[in-house]
Chains A and B, each alone.
Chain A
Amino acid sequence: MIRAAAAGAATSVQGVGKPIVNIAIFAFFVTVTLVIAIRVAGKNKTTADYYAGGRVFSGRQNGIAIGGDYLSAASFLGIAGTIALYGYDGFLYSIGFLVAWLVVLLLVAEPLRNTGRYTMADVLHLRLRAKPVRAAAALSTLTVSLFYLLAQMAAAGALVNLLLGVKSTLGQDLTITVVGVLMIFYVLVGGMRGTTWVQIVKATILLLGAAVMTAWVLTEAGFNLSSLLHHAAAASPAGNAVLGPGLKYGASTTSKLDFISLSLALVLGTAGLPHVLMRLYTVPDAKQARRSVIWTVWVVGLFYIFTLVLGYGAMWLVGAQRIEAAPGTADSAVPLLAFHLGGTLLLGSVAAVAFATILAVVAGLTITASASFAHDVYAGVLRPGDVEPRDEIRVARITAVVIGLLAVAGGIMAKNINVAFLVALAFAVAASANLPSILYSLYWPRFTARGAQWSIYGGLISSVTLIIFSPVVSGQINPATGASLSMISDPHINFAFFPLDNPGIVSIPLSFFLGWLGSVTDRRTSESARFARVQVAALTGISAERTGQVPT
């Protein structure tokens, strides 16, 4: 418990913070965003309204919303916490998340906006006109979204333990259920328009909150970065080692390779994340899609600069021992720092922002997954050509409810399991199963439907299989305590024959290779007219979906 851990700091029996304050601030956020979601919802009559917010958002609005989608609780609490415990290696991690946006900006955003309607599968469909490809793309979209969703829901359980002092199983399950119900409500009522506004509000308060805390830490350090680092290193048991790389990832050659594998997945995965790609369709045209990504780069970049200061700040002002002792260990660094700086009120705000983050991210993931099912699987594969927009939206809404319930059930089951690896896995699957076929569709004339299937299934199956047989699932043992560090808590079960935590270094090249091999050995060659359609549309925007246009 956070209360127990920080009892030394706050001499009251209550411990750190007052759950009632945290809940009140969070309830305020929920009320405000619900009102916004209801007011902006409009009619959501067409699929473009429901999936893409009518394509009326400006690049700036959408860019901030994408930042909101991207900066999940894992980023907000996780990266700063990793810096607080391991120093430089956490910073290294954040850079991969930032540089990844250049792949989106230069190679993906504008062509994708010009050639699709709502989902990544649209682009593959325009290029290859093959139902099995659409089904494959939908499957990988759903897989990535569900992994990501499960990680967020499980984090909600851990966070409530950490921030609200809810210790009972029933209380945690109830919180996960409340998060799920709220998310279903946002998605059903607000559609993409409501969800986007929730993201904009969330991203703004997240940035403001982080900025205030950063300024506060810097004030304590006399606005001197060197002295902040000096204090942090002095306070850490690892000493000066925290100022350089290697504490977390530098133990052995295997762990170094693992870090390179992770970096590869981070830098290439972002451009394949379905909930990010879907956001590119909420703006009127490719120019605004470009502006969106530019804004996202600023939002995300600024935020990671803040987390660097917050992480070293927590190392200095809170100390590794107290962070390690708190529930959620690394994740508690920022909340504890907030309490140290601003007491109950600031801790309450940080707790509320963290919850808002989870709520907004799960809403974004749910709408993406439901769109993929309704638009790609139902309207595209099961009943091609005879689905009314109203029907499709109805199916999307039902899917959103089903996914919401699944996420609640999954979150309740996974809350005591270490599922932090699911986010990294989502990036690895996105980079392996999605990115190669997106790039080939847009840029390679000889790409065929068979190549697409090989690449998507090859990437999906190899990354998931390698994860199952990796140390994150079984066989990783804490040498000090003998306890399991893997998902499977029994230390005697060990089927980890793949040495790396992250499969990217194998599965990403494999998927690119399979996409190439499947295409060049395909007897049915690529249709040049289809490539012309995609390439011309991608670069010029001819025939791109426009604002408010009712799709035909």
Chain B
Amino acid sequence: MAAVAVTESGQYRQGGTKYEIVQASREFHTLRRRFLRITIPVAVLFLGWYFLYVAVAAFAPGFMRIKVIGDVNIGLCFGAMQFVSTFGITLFYARWARRNIDPVAERLRNRAELRNRAEKGGRG
């Protein structure tokens, strides 16, 4: 890599851009797959869960009125569960990203910076 010069815009004169080189790396593949494998299904899940709630509220209000404890009914519990799931997903994602995304992203970033510096040095 060190033999390839870098232009102002970050384009490598030969081969792909520096981003394409990172994109093609095995580590980036792992990172991308990991990220999308969690975020997309979780997004589908919470959107589905939310629209289930909205649909039940709109089309089955009688079900929502069934009392659970005192005057607290299913609707209120269902709504409270939306809060719980939102808080839960937030906590889960924060922890998961800190453990599984941040270290890999940082490694890739540091490596790219090192390579950048080496190549700038080589050019001068």
Contacts and interface: CB of A to CB of B under 8 A. Distances in A.
Interface of A: 88, 91-92, 95-96, 98-99, 101-103, 105-107, 224-227, 229-230, 233, 240, 243-246, 249-250, 256, 259-260, 263, 267, 286-287, 290-291, 294, 297-298, 301, 304-305, 443, 528-529, 532-533, 535-537, 539-543
A539 B35 contact: yes
A199 B34 CA distance: 36
B40 to A, nearest CB: 8
The B interface is mostly helix, strand or loop, or mixed, namely helix
A54 to B, nearest CB: 22
Which of under 10, 10 to 19, 20 to 34, or 35 or more describes the interface residues of B?
35 or more
Contact of A88 (B17, B20, B75, B93): B75
Interface in B73-111: 73, 75-76, 79, 82-83, 86-87, 89-90, 93-94, 97, 101-102, 105, 108-109
Nearest to A92: B57
A421 B62 CA distance: 29
Contacts, number: 158
Contacts of A539: 28, 31-32, 35, 101, 105
Given A240-B65, A536-B22, A539-B32, 13 more contacts: A88-B75, A96-B50, A103-B43, A105-B90, A229-B70, A244-B61, A250-B61, A287-B102, A529-B17, A533-B10, A535-B32, A536-B108, A542-B112
Interface of B: 10-11, 16-17, 19-20, 22-23, 28, 31-32, 35-36, 39, 42-43, 46-47, 50-51, 53-55, 57-59, 61-62, 64-65, 69-73, 75-76, 79, 82-83, 86-87, 89-90, 93-94, 97, 101-102, 105, 108-109, 112-113
16 contacts: A88-B64, A88-B76, A99-B46, A102-B43, A105-B90, A227-B70, A245-B58, A260-B54, A290-B97, A529-B16, A532-B20, A532-B23, A535-B19, A537-B19, A540-B28, A541-B109
Nearest to B31: A539
Contacts of B113: 542
Contact of A536 (B28, B62, B83): B28
Nearest to B70: A226
Contacts of A537: 19
A539 B82 CA distance: 29
Contacts of A286: 105
A225, A227, A245: residue with the most chain B Cβ atoms closer than 10 Å: A245
Contacts of B109: 540-542
A256 B60 CA distance: 11
A96 B112 CA distance: 40
The A interface is mostly helix, strand or loop, or mixed, namely helix
Contacts of A106: 39, 42-43, 89, 93
Given A105-B90, A226-B72, A294-B90, A542 B39 contact: no
B64 A245 contact: yes
Across chains A and B, which 8 residue pairs bring their CB atoms closest together, nearest first? A226-B70, A244-B65, A229-B71, A245-B57, A246-B61, A256-B58, A532-B19, A536-B19
A244 B64 contact: yes
B12 to A, nearest CB: 10
A230 B75 CA distance: 15
A305 B83 CA distance: 9
Contacts of B105: 286, 539-541
Contacts of B19: 529, 532-533, 535-537, 542
A224 B76 CA distance: 14
A533 B70 CA distance: 57
A396 B23 CA distance: 37
Contacts of A245: 57-58, 61, 64, 75
